[in-house]
Amino acid sequence: MHSSSSNLLQALLTNPDFIAWSNGDRPEDDVKWNKWAGDDLEKQETIAIAREVLESFQVAGPNMTDEHVTSKVSQALNTAKRIESEQNSRSISPFRRLNFTVWNVAATLVTLLGLALAIFGIYKNGHFKLDLKNNVSKIDDADTFTEVTNQDQAVKYVRLSDGSAIVLHKNSSIRFPKQFSGPVREVFLTGDAFFEITKNPEQPFFVYANELVAKVHGTSFSIKAGQSDSKVIVAVKTGKVSVFSKNDLKADQYKKDKALQALVLTPNQQATLERSQFKLSRLALSSPILLNIPIENQDFTFSETPVKDVFEALEKAYGIHIDFNRETLAQCSITATLGDEPLENKLKWICTILEAEYAVREDKITIKGNPCNNYSPEP
């Protein structure tokens, strides 16, 4: 299956809005999905396939048995296989250029769905909800959301529109809106990352990482959430973080209430979610180091520190290059405690001390300032 088609199919099959529309629950969304597909043959074909696979996986309700789940999985697999067979038998098809091979991806998806239902008894427990947001691929306008992946760097700096900073570990990705709007800020993590969140109690910040949801107002913490890991772990460096399972019966309440609730973590505390059981536990730590990256044990306290050393510390911690004129700023030094503020807040304070300016472009920060012969006192 062509990679873009596979991603598109997976996104549709895990999109709550699409599933509801496909099941006939939202006829008012006909215009929305027809407009989304437009004249794009790939999208039209993928919608048709996704609807047929979902139709074959209709469930009977909260009292369904494991045998019924198994039957539905088998039915969905047969549907996927038949679709592939029909496509292969077409002599002339406008979709032939899509290189669509449905079997592998569709079989994998419905098998995982079946296993999840059988193992966790979601339907039998009567609290399966399609409207709870989670960290699955979703169909969104590319102009609205951004996804950043760190494939080869030890750490990679990611800036959010509210000024929050994310230090993304190697082989990890983060998905987030280009601009935060509405009552909450939400991002979706796959892998490991360190967060420094801009304080805003009126607009809580949510991180969705596998089955775990972390809710914060403004603080710094690490999350370890590899796709194949059996656990999701959160370690708090500063501030407070509230964590809960997305399967929690009170998940919607935790989201809507602006106050921190659920399991609250304070500095040097760690929470672990056992993914197979949705079980959360809390542990006290001697230090908040979880990912073994520099920023976790850096307190950003400087005393008459040459500015080049300050910038080198920031480069190492955030995985971003800082370009400045070493000759011009050679005599400058910094005395300050910058703490857990996001990188841009640190830059603003440093540039205020140096009477300089900064600009952030992709993976580089440029500092422009005038010579100085002394340092500013600690604030």
pLDDT digits (tens, 9 = 90+) for 292-336: 999 998 989 999 999 999 999 999 999 999 999 988 888 899 998
What domain range includes position 270? 145-284
Q: What is the pLDDT of residues 329-369, one digit of tens each?
A: 888 999 989 888 899 999 999 999 888 999 988 779 999 98
Residue 339 lies in a domain: yes
Q: How far apart are CA 379 and CA 367, in angstroms?
A: 21
Residue 178 lies in a domain: yes
149 & 91 share domain? no
Question: Residue 163: enclosing H or E segment and its boundaries?
Answer: none
Overall domain count for the chain: 3
Percent of the chain with pLDDT over 90: 43
Q: Residue 113 corresponds to which amino acid?
A: L
Residue 190 lies in a domain: yes
Residue 169 lies in a domain: yes
Q: How far apart are CA 211 and CA 135, in angstroms?
A: 8
Residue 117 has pLDDT above 80, yes or no: no
149 & 110 share domain? no
Question: Residue 145: enclosing H or E segment and its boundaries?
Answer: strand 145-150
Q: What pLDDT sits at residue 21?
A: 84
Residue 319 lies in a domain: yes
Helix axes 102-120, 3-13, angle to 10 degrees: 30
Residue 324 lies in a domain: yes
154 & 29 share domain? no
Q: What pLDDT sits at residue 294?
A: 93
209 & 94 share domain? no
274 & 362 share domain? no
251 & 342 share domain? no
Average the pLDDT over each of 52-56, 192-196, 265-269, 271-275 and give the range with the smallest value.
52-56
User: Chain-wide mean pLDDT for the chain?
Assistant: 79
pLDDT average, residue stretch 124-133: 39
255 & 156 share domain? yes
Q: What is the pLDDT of residues 3-46, one digit of tens each?
A: 556 667 767 776 777 887 887 777 778 888 888 888 888 888 88
Strand partners, 207: 187, 214
Q: What pLDDT sits at residue 30?
A: 82
Q: What pLDDT sits at residue 142?
A: 54
Residue 227 lies in a domain: yes
pLDDT average, residue stretch 170-193: 93
| 106-to-54, 124, 210, 338 alpha-carbon distances in Å | 10, 24, 21, 50
Contacts of 11 (CB under 8 A, 6+ apart): 136, 137, 138, 139
Residue 198 lies in a domain: yes
CATH number of the domain that residue 309 is part of: 3.55.50.30
DSSP summary character for residue 238: E
